[in-house]
Amino acid sequence: MPSPEGARYHRGVELGEITRNARELLASLPPQVTLVAAGKSRSPEQLRAAVEGGITAIGHNYVQEAELSVAALGSAARWHFIGHLQGNKAKKAAALFDCVETVDTLRLGQALERACAERGKILPVLIEINIDAEENKAGARPEEAEALIRALAALPHLRVEGLMTMGKWTDDPEDNRPAFRRTRALFEALSKLAIPGADLRHLSMGMSDSYRVAIEEGATRVRIGTRLFGPR
């Protein structure tokens, strides 16, 4: 099929379609839900096409990859770290990102605190929860969450704003509903504690295959890649 006149392509993806996908996805979401575009392996051109469609938040799994995107797009979007962050990358992460959604240990929080203190920056963070206590998955166990939030909320350059969880890889989005429901229950229980220094108002869960179920179970952020950009 011939290329449409004037269409912009990148790695076989029509960039105008990304912009249209962004507009359609945003129009379909409840007003209280933020779409974080999952930018793993996506080019700056693809991310810019999403921003042109109204995307305001972009998530990255890797610090090095994010450096290229931030250099290209700058303040055109807010930058979220949504992958597993190693402590030795905390300094760069503190410089690049507007939010880190995957803090799961006090040690990582302290590394981010030191890096933010050097920059005079207050960094919003979410606590990643391994809601099913899966052995090979990152995240704090549910029973560890309160103590971790209390410890992190005492750090002056971090602002704990909620929870994040990863769903299981499954062909049926309904398989994740129980885990999302338990994460919402944990979020509500922790919110009721009114932990000093914490402001629990964001619940990040659900991806391209499961975001609708996640929203039904109370997500205020969804992380969408494939439905926005197409297959990698």
pLDDT digits (tens, 9 = 90+) for 40-75: 999 999 999 999 999 999 999 999 999 999 999 999
Per-residue confidence (pLDDT) for residue 88, from 0 to 100: 95
Does residue 2 carry a pLDDT above 60? no
Q: 2 Cβ partners below 8 Å, 6+ apart?
A: none
Does residue 217 carry a pLDDT above 50? yes
Q: Is 63 within a domain?
A: yes
Q: Is 4 within a domain?
A: no
Query: What CATH number does the domain containing 160 carry?
Result: 3.20.20.10
Per-residue confidence (pLDDT) for residue 25, from 0 to 100: 98
Query: Interhelix angle for 177-192 vs 145-153, to 10°?
Result: 50
Q: Is 77 within a domain?
A: yes
The total of structural domains in the chain comes to 1
Give me the residues paired with residue 57 across strands. 36, 78
Per-residue confidence (pLDDT) for residue 11, from 0 to 100: 52
Q: Is 3 within a domain?
A: no
Rounded average pLDDT over 203-209: 96
Per-residue confidence (pLDDT) for residue 3, from 0 to 100: 35
CA distance 111 to 82: 17
Q: What does pTM read for this prediction? A: 0.93
Q: Is 46 within a domain?
A: yes
CA distance 168 to 174: 10
The domain in which residue 106 lies consists of: 9-229
Does residue 208 carry a pLDDT above 80? yes
Q: Is 40 within a domain?
A: yes
10 versus 31: the higher-pLDDT residue is: 31
Does residue 84 carry a pLDDT above 50? yes
pLDDT tens, residue by residue, 152-195: 999 999 999 999 999 888 889 999 999 999 999 999 999 999 99
* Number of Cβ atoms within 10 Å of the Cβ of 74: 9
pLDDT tens, residue by residue, 91-140: 999 999 999 999 999 999 999 999 999 999 999 999 999 999 888 889 99
Q: Are 35 and 55 in contact, with CB atoms under 8 Å apart?
A: yes
Q: Is 2 within a domain?
A: no
6 versus 14: the higher-pLDDT residue is: 14
Q: Is 157 within a domain?
A: yes
Per-residue confidence (pLDDT) for residue 13, from 0 to 100: 67
Per-residue confidence (pLDDT) for residue 37, from 0 to 100: 98
Task: Residue count of the chain, please give it.
Answer: 232
Take residue 216 and report the two structure tokens written for it. Answer: 């039904």
Per-residue confidence (pLDDT) for residue 1, from 0 to 100: 33
Binned at pLDDT 50, 70 and 90, residue 232 comes out as confident
Q: Are 194 and 210 in contact, with CB atoms under 8 Å apart?
A: no
CA distance 40 to 83: 9
